[in-house]
Structure 1
């Protein structure tokens, strides 16, 4: 069984989507949910969703090692550390320290580093990470508030985070096929090896070349080359038709476009009133829940942190807006599901997805149909009811995602 550790919640479902596409029956386990091994009798891959991307280094390492031991107890014998395809990290971590801890615990002689996700424009060439046609350092990630990415060479980003050596294998070796790449990897003496990949064919070659490695690391794209047994997936079943809701904590350009496309098609949209939420969070939650209830049947109302950049505020009344929005949206989700009025939710934004999953008390997700690269429907049980969730990174999905996603539940 393949066991994977993802450093955030949307990253976990992103990886699970790719594993399902490559022939695995997949479950996502939320952090430290207590589950017995028998819960995974019909599962080929387990992904544990952590919230460690920007956690303190010691906490990230501890949580990741705990996840590794749980995966081992459930029968996993090969492991995958999943981080963002834009290699989100700083000079002090967290990718390097977690890699050091996992590779040490597994006595891994070599661990590849493959952030590429070509389907979403993330590629590595000559060791440099590109976002579309831009080097990482010239992409919007340069201005990320927590992990500003000011370099593009993956090895140069990783080296300050670890005392271990970092080698690079470039594209000609990958294009030489499995035998050529295997030979190139064998020549690399360093424990970490950054490998070029510019398309899915490259990822397939890489995955086969390292099929005997106990630990691999990368974005979700590498999973496309890790072939599963292809058993029929009986764990996925769409819930009966019920209320729909979209919650957007992300204020990314992609998510804002998705909101506007849905609004143009008559989807009702409400922006969280930050001033009222700061003054009385519960009052704003009650108001939004009532507004959701009032929307016409069959619609998929959208509650968002922002529709335009003018709506984006870092603080309100001295209170940081990001955790405030997460608190509001997660409470709206919990109350709307508990009332039975909502049975399918799309959640945009990694931090918001984590907050919603925790508020709903989710222990595990069974991965279902793909909506876009890195985005899928998953099902879980909340109380006695089946609920469908689509947790998406703010930057993922086509502009019409909030309109077309529901077709997969029909």
Structure 2
């Protein structure tokens, strides 16, 4: 059994679908201390939701999650991070190695299908260096440089090195030799990759090592060089009824999600834009009641409803100014907006018994899941690269949890259609 620790909810599902579409049965679980794991899948992923935590909290969560996976009988481990290295990267890698009493991990950040490539240690997004991409503007973890080795060295006490593309393309045997050589003097080795073929070579070379880390993309190639699954295909067994419309929640302000919500609205889906300024003042409950009542009427009539955070730059700026006056950081403001969207989701789900929900944005997805008391899900089927549908564990519910920067322009339209195909009214 493979054990994965992921630092956010959408990332957990992202790597889950990579293993799943290669034939493995996968389940994603929300981290809880002293949780027990039932061995009914090839891959168990624990979502620590630690990307926005303090380094000490992130270390503690990953250390404990790794211990839980080891106790459950996992023999291979994967530390899933953001594909652009945002978050508590170094301390989370260290936490996994410390708990396992290991001192070496292979790292691959490349995700060619989503435009992430690494060449000579320099990481790019759709051809742009990290500091020239939209991730330079991340409010919590701005990416101000592109050299992965340099980024990681600032976050770990262990030694870091890189293996470049020239070596990768000599084939798996030569790459494995380079990895073994690096292991003598370094604890982390970051490996270049530009194409899916490069990832195939990395998987072949890395399959015998106990700890891997990085983006989800390598998870698609690993099952090809590991034992086959003995579990049945979950997608063929899903049977859920729901006469309500599909609820779509969007808290992400990324360009990708903006395009996706625009496309969804243009397709005819009814939208409710939340005034984020009111979330921060005394009008919170009034705004909550207004959004809830309007959405409830539509959903009950079978209409799909999008509830989204305001993405107008002027309103976003005014919201930040209000928050600043109240002493809130941008992280706190973001979490308050996610909390509002999750509270609406919870109220609607409880009153209408909703069984189909789409959430856009990593923090939004995690917050929605916590409010709905979702402890985890089985991966069902990939909708778009890195974004699957999930069957909630111990609940009759289907969810789609999307990272803000993932998915094509029509993703949300496809996600709604996909959930309808899996259910009947």
Q: TM-score range by the shorter chain?
A: over 0.9
CA distance in structure 1 between the partners assigned to 2:51 and 2:340 by the alignment: 22
Deviation at 1:164, TM superposition (A): 1.6
What per-residue deviation string (whole Å, max 9, x for no partner) do you get for residues 256-300 of structure 1?
111111111221111112343331433322221211122274432
SS at match of 2:241: coil
CA distance in structure 2 between the partners assigned to 1:174 and 1:360 by the alignment: 44
CA distance in structure 1 between the partners assigned to 2:289 and 2:103 by the alignment: 54
Partner of 1:172: 166
The change in CA–CA distance for 1:35 and 1:157 in structure 2 (over 3 A counts) is closer
Partner of 2:382: 370
Partner of 1:397: 407
SS at match of 1:250: coil
- Among residues 192, 197, 211, which one is paired with 2:207 in the alignment? 211
CA distance in structure 2 between the partners assigned to 1:327 and 1:102 by the alignment: 30
In structure 1, stretches of 5+ residues that fail to align are none
Partner of 2:238: 237
- Among residues 63, 67, 70, which one is paired with 1:69 in the alignment? 67
1:308 matched to 2:312? The reply is yes
- Among residues 254, 257, 260, which one is paired with 1:255 in the alignment? 257
SS at match of 1:40: coil
Deviation at 1:341, TM superposition (A): 4.8
Partner of 2:92: 98
How large is the RMSD of aligned CA atoms in angstroms? 1.9
SS at match of 1:378: strand
Q: TM-score, normalised by structure 2?
A: 0.90
1:56 matched to 2:50? The reply is no
Say whether the 8 Å CA contact 2:130–2:145 is kept in structure 1: yes
- Among residues 248, 255, 263, which one is paired with 1:246 in the alignment? 248
Deviation at 1:315, TM superposition (A): 4.6
CA distance in structure 2 between the partners assigned to 1:305 and 1:96 by the alignment: 32
Deviation at 1:120, TM superposition (A): 0.6
What per-residue deviation string (whole Å, max 9, x for no partner) do you get for residues 325-366 of structure 1?
112111111111112352211101111111100100111211
What per-residue deviation string (whole Å, max 9, x for no partner) do you get for residues 140-177 of structure 1?
11121111111111001111112221111111211111
The change in CA–CA distance for 1:335 and 1:71 in structure 2 (over 3 A counts) is same
- Among residues 279, 283, 289, which one is paired with 2:292 in the alignment? 289
Bigger CA drift: 327-336 or 26-35?
26-35
SS at match of 2:396: strand
1:31 matched to 2:31? The reply is yes
Partner of 1:113: 107
Counting only pairs closer than 5 Å after superposition, residues 308-347 of structure 1 correspond to structure 2 as 308-312=312-316, 313-316=319-322, 318-319=325-326, 320=328, 321-347=333-359
CA distance in structure 1 between the partners assigned to 2:130 and 2:43 by the alignment: 31
Q: TM-score, normalised by structure 1?
A: 0.93
SS at match of 2:140: coil
Say whether the 8 Å CA contact 1:378–1:388 is kept in structure 2: yes
CA distance in structure 2 between the partners assigned to 1:371 and 1:177 by the alignment: 32
CA distance in structure 1 between the partners assigned to 2:108 and 2:162 by the alignment: 11
Deviation at 1:34, TM superposition (A): 6.4
Deviation at 1:109, TM superposition (A): 4.1
Say whether the 8 Å CA contact 2:63–2:98 is kept in structure 1: no
CA distance in structure 2 between the partners assigned to 1:160 and 1:13 by the alignment: 28
Say whether the 8 Å CA contact 1:30–1:48 is kept in structure 2: yes
The change in CA–CA distance for 1:33 and 1:288 in structure 2 (over 3 A counts) is farther
Bigger CA drift: 368-377 or 100-109?
100-109
Say whether the 8 Å CA contact 1:259–1:307 is kept in structure 2: no
What per-residue deviation string (whole Å, max 9, x for no partner) do you get for residues 203-250 of structure 1?
121112111211110101111111062442238625323431111111
SS at match of 1:346: strand
- Among residues 180, 185, 204, which one is paired with 2:179 in the alignment? 185
Say whether the 8 Å CA contact 1:377–1:388 is kept in structure 2: yes
CA distance in structure 2 between the partners assigned to 1:394 and 1:408 by the alignment: 19
Say whether the 8 Å CA contact 1:256–1:308 is kept in structure 2: no
Say whether the 8 Å CA contact 1:115–1:123 is kept in structure 2: yes
Say whether the 8 Å CA contact 1:256–1:306 is kept in structure 2: no
- Give the total of aligned pairs: 402
